[in-house]
Amino acid sequence: MKFNSLIPELTVRDIERTKRFYTEILSFRVEYERPEDGFAFLSRGDNQLMFEQERGDIWRTGELEYPFGRGVNFEMTVPDVEALHKRLMDAGAALFRPLRESRYRSGDEFIVQKEFLVQDPDGYLLRFTD
């Protein structure tokens, strides 16, 4: 397995709940885990995330209050953004922002992409694009 050069590791309240959300709804897969540490490494295509259940003895820079990750969103490119959006809708997930086409200026050109945003069980903001 190839590890990306940047892999966010997110603190969560309940590792089992997190794994269910990411694997059953978002179609990530568990690459490996350390249950004794409340740790899981998940991937979906080239997107990789690590999760560790909050224990009080991990690297913490401040109090963890919902929603976790305030001020950050994790953009992940997927080949099937419309299908993933439908999967979330069918699961009854509350979207932070529904599927839409967005335009972002890059120099003299525009990047056009379909995207939607959803919060995970701990409030981390996930942005999925095509």
- The pLDDT tens digits for 110-130 are 999 999 999 999 999 999 999
Q: Given CATH 1.10.460.10, say whether it is the number of domain 9-55+72-129.
A: no
Which residue from 81, 78, 107, 77 is spatially nearest to 95, judged by alpha carbons?
81
Helix (H) / strand (E) containing 21: none
How far apart CA 128 and CA 73 sit, in angstroms, is 10
What's the mean pLDDT when you consider all of the chain?
94
Task: Please give the pLDDT value at position 108.
Answer: 95
